[in-house]
Structure 1
Amino acid sequence: MIYFTAVLVGLLYALLMSLVREPHRRRLNALMVAGAGAAYLSGGGFGGWEFLYAAVATYVAYRGLESWTFIGIAWLMHTAWDVFHHVKGNPIMPFYHDSSLGCAICDPVIALWCLRGGPSLIALVRRGSVRSGSADATGA
């Protein structure tokens, strides 16, 4: 169930972000992934390495202010950090043992959306509806 839920959360994130117009969508996502990069600082499972990761993630997120590719890379970096924390047994939410695993499943979904340029999923669905509607109207 955690796998399905985590993928659903990633898709819901992309759908909700689709409500934000560009270029604000890209910039907001850069801020979101920067925040995710600092998420483990309070629990620290890896001591000083947490600070190094947060610094590198912040730099990559900063580059994401102008590049969807860097935002996608930052989400993939966070995925790896989630896996490390899950394996070590130091989850992002101490009260939920599999929270880092869920995050490690959700984050690549978001990363793939970002690496595709963070398109509006709402616009994609609307375009698909228009295409299928026009095909039906012509009898094709």
Structure 2
Amino acid sequence: MIQILAPILIGLLYAGLNSFIAEPHRRRFNAVVVGGAGAAYLSGGALGPWELAFCAVMTYVAFRGLDSWTFIGIGWLLHTGWDVVHHLKGQPILPFAHDSSFGCALCDPVIAIWCFTGGRSVPGWRTAVRGTPVP
């Protein structure tokens, strides 16, 4: 159960901590982070040249994410798929943690959903739920 809950909580914590970064810096910071996530598996090389191709795709998506939360969300969903492939192949993102790619595949969609909602800060979530500005 902890293997499922912990990654989801990490995704929520990531979104919450991003509340401390003001826009437009929050979006740009997240574009850089998702670009870095695209290179996370390079050192393992489990999928050979496909690792480089994926990194190139993620670089493009991250670049587009500099101006678009949607592209950042797409990047996290692409990374989710890459996590699943590596988990099934037995080549985890952290070689010393067998289920790390599985956990990453649960965490990344949580972040993607947050990105698809515009990467709102926690006060922004409250505003959206209540429909009134936060004092």
TM-score if structure 1 supplies the norm length?
0.89
Question: Deviation digits for residues 34-87 of structure 1, max 9, x if unmatched?
Answer: 000000001111011000000001100100000000000000000000000000
> Which ranges in structure 2 are unaligned for 5 or more consecutive residues?
none
- After superposition, residues 27-46 of structure 1 pair within 5 angstroms as 27-46=28-47
After TM superposition, the runs of 4+ consecutive aligned structure 1 residues lying more than 3 A away are: 125-129
CA distance in 1, matches of 2:90, 2:16: 31
Residue in 2 aligned with 1:49?
50
Q: Once the 2 structures are TM-superposed, how far is the Cα of residue 13 of structure 1 from its aligned partner?
A: 0.2
Identity %: 61
Letter paired with 1:81? W
Question: Deviation digits for residues 94-122 of structure 1, max 9, x if unmatched?
Answer: 00000000000000000000011101124
Residue in 2 aligned with 1:108?
109
CA distance in 2, matches of 1:127, 1:71: 21
CA distance in 2, matches of 1:123, 1:73: 22
Aligned residues: 131
Letter paired with 1:50? E
- After superposition, residues 61-76 of structure 1 pair within 5 angstroms as 61-76=62-77
TM-score if structure 2 supplies the norm length?
0.92
- Tell me the C-alpha RMSD between the 2 structures: 1.7
Letter paired with 1:34? G
Letter paired with 1:23? P
- After superposition, residues 1-140 of structure 1 pair within 5 angstroms as 1-125=2-126
CA distance in 2, matches of 1:127, 1:36: 29
- Larger radius of gyration between Structure 1 and Structure 2: 1
Q: Once the 2 structures are TM-superposed, how far is the Cα of residue 128 of structure 1 from its aligned partner?
A: 6.3
CA distance in 1, matches of 2:5, 2:22: 28
CA distance in 2, matches of 1:9, 1:44: 26
> Which ranges in structure 1 are unaligned for 5 or more consecutive residues?
132-140
Q: Once the 2 structures are TM-superposed, how far is the Cα of residue 125 of structure 1 from its aligned partner?
A: 3.8
CA distance in 2, matches of 1:58, 1:38: 9
Question: Deviation digits for residues 9-53 of structure 1, max 9, x if unmatched?
Answer: 000000001110000000000000000000000111101100000
Whether the 8 Å CA contact 1:15–1:122 is kept in 2: the answer is no
